[in-house]
Amino acid sequence: QATATVDISMDDNTFPSPDVQRQDRPSLTCILPAYNEAENLGRLIPELTAYLQRFSDQIELLVIDDGSRDATVAVAAALVDEYPVTVLQLSRNFGKEAALSAGIDHAEGEVVLLMDADGQHPLEAIDQFFHHWRQGYDMVFGVRDNRADESAAKRHLTNLFYKVLSRSAEIDIHPDAGDFRLLDRRVVLALRQLPERSRMMKGLYAWVGFPSKAVTFTVAPRMGGTSNFRLRHLSSLALTGFTSFSSAPLRVWMLIGAGISVLSLLYAFLIVMRTLLFGSDVPGWPTIAAGIAFLGGIQLFSVGILGEYIARIFSEVKARPLYLVSRRHSFRDRTTATDT
Ligand code: UDP
Ligand code: MG
């Protein structure tokens, strides 16, 4: 075997197992989380079905309706007659992470594809996904080649977030990777074993590991409708990312506390010396007030961080389901209905 220098970068630091056997035309489930995507599904699903037939003869498009407030369900359910579509209607809007989890729980394919329902993920990238899967990678993920479509503020915050997270967490998450990916059944089964309530899927993909490969793609503009992610959403997802993959925020206070204690000791020593040498004078309250305010701030902040972790522990302990499915429309049911 060659001992060539191998570029072990963060995106593909793994190699496929040499002995993998891949089927020629595996069964395929494509998970499409959809929140107010009525405009887009009618166009995406025919295109997608036609495209996926290159890779598989057993296709299922699993549309997860995440409590949409428009005609998403009606549009998707109407497509059941003509296309291999199954619609899982969640009982309310649970968020994209929960919708994806619902998809992963219900996907039966040998290969599972995760894709946005708004047409922003280019179908051509799927060729590459399958190419690498055939070579033995269990997970192939899309990495966006630029973020020009996003606001500068969002770009900077995202960058900062991944920089800090990768320093403090025990896993490496590719900053430009997203939910556009191909999962082998092995990865799907692994993801189903993760029971946590507060989820950041990107962290979980990284956590389960498996030979993975990055593929770059260019994000297309939305077919129609508007993006549903507001800053508030993203910041709460960022917080989930931190608290579920890193305990650094809890630990950093030990260091800060120790640092402040050492400084205060030095300062106390200074005061004692000064009093001994020059006698005492009453003034000095500004220093005391400033010290108290500073420490008070730090204490409240660290209590807040404790609260954040405790809130997550609370939500894990309640162990509520991640999502509830209220209805299901499937091409499978239809076929049986016409047969009998
Ligand atoms: N989505 C969802 N539930 C939500 C928000 C979004 O299932 O609460 C879906 C949405 O329908 C789309 C995907 O997640 O298929 C990505 O959402 P969006 O396009 O709004 O995000 P962006 O592309 O701007 O990151
Ligand atoms: Mg989008």
Q: What is the pLDDT of residue 7?
A: 37
> Which runs of E-coded beta strand occur in the chain?
28-34, 59-65, 85-90, 111-114, 139-144, 177-184, 212-217, 325-330
Q: What is the pLDDT of residue 90?
A: 95
Give the DSSP letter of residue 68: -
Closest residue CA from atom 24 of ligand 1: 227
Tally of CB atoms within 10 A around 310: 10
Tally of CB atoms within 10 A around 162: 20
Instruction: State in Å: Cα 207 to ligand 1 middle.
Output: 23
Give helix 96-106 / helix 185-192 axis angle, nearest 10°. Answer: 120
Q: Are 98 and 34 in contact (CB under 8 A)?
A: no
Cβ of 184 below 6 Å from ligand 1: no
Cβ of 158 below 6 Å from ligand 1: no
Cβ of 34 below 6 Å from ligand 1: yes
Instruction: State in Å: Cα 169 to ligand 2 middle.
Output: 27
Q: What is the pLDDT of residue 14?
A: 65
Instruction: State in Å: Cα 284 to ligand 1 middle.
Output: 57
Enter the tokens of residue 214. Answer: 């990055």
Instruction: State in Å: Cα 200 to ligand 1 middle.
Output: 14
Q: Is the pTM of this model over 0.80?
A: no
Q: What is the pLDDT of residue 63?
A: 95
Closest residue CA from atom 13 of ligand 1: 116
Q: What is the pLDDT of residue 298?
A: 79
Cβ of 228 below 6 Å from ligand 1: yes
Per DSSP, the residues of 153-208 read HHHHHHHHHHHHHHHHSSS---TTEEEEEEEEHHHHHHHHT---SS--HHHHHHHH
Q: Rounded distance, CA 27 to CA 53, Å?
A: 10
Enter the tokens of residue 48. Answer: 């997608």
Instruction: State in Å: Cα 121 to ligand 2 middle.
Output: 8
Q: Rounded distance, CA 246 to CA 110, Å?
A: 32
Q: What is the pLDDT along the chain (340 residues), one digit of tens a residue?
A: 333 333 334 445 567 776 778 888 999 999 999 999 988 998 899 999 999 999 999 999 999 999 999 899 999 999 988 999 999 999 999 989 999 999 999 999 999 999 999 888 999 999 999 999 998 899 999 988 877 777 788 788 888 888 888 777 777 778 788 889 999 999 999 999 888 877 888 888 888 888 888 888 888 888 777 777 677 777 788 888 877 777 777 777 777 877 887 888 888 888 888 888 887 766 777 778 777 877 877 787 888 788 888 888 887 888 888 899 998 888 888 765 554 4
Residues sharing a CB contact under 8 Å with residue 74, sequence separation 6 or more, in sequence order? 38
Closest to 231 measured CA to CA, from 136, 164, 145, 156: 156
Q: What is the pLDDT of residue 237?
A: 80
Distances (CA, A) of 314 to 142, 249, 307: 34, 18, 10
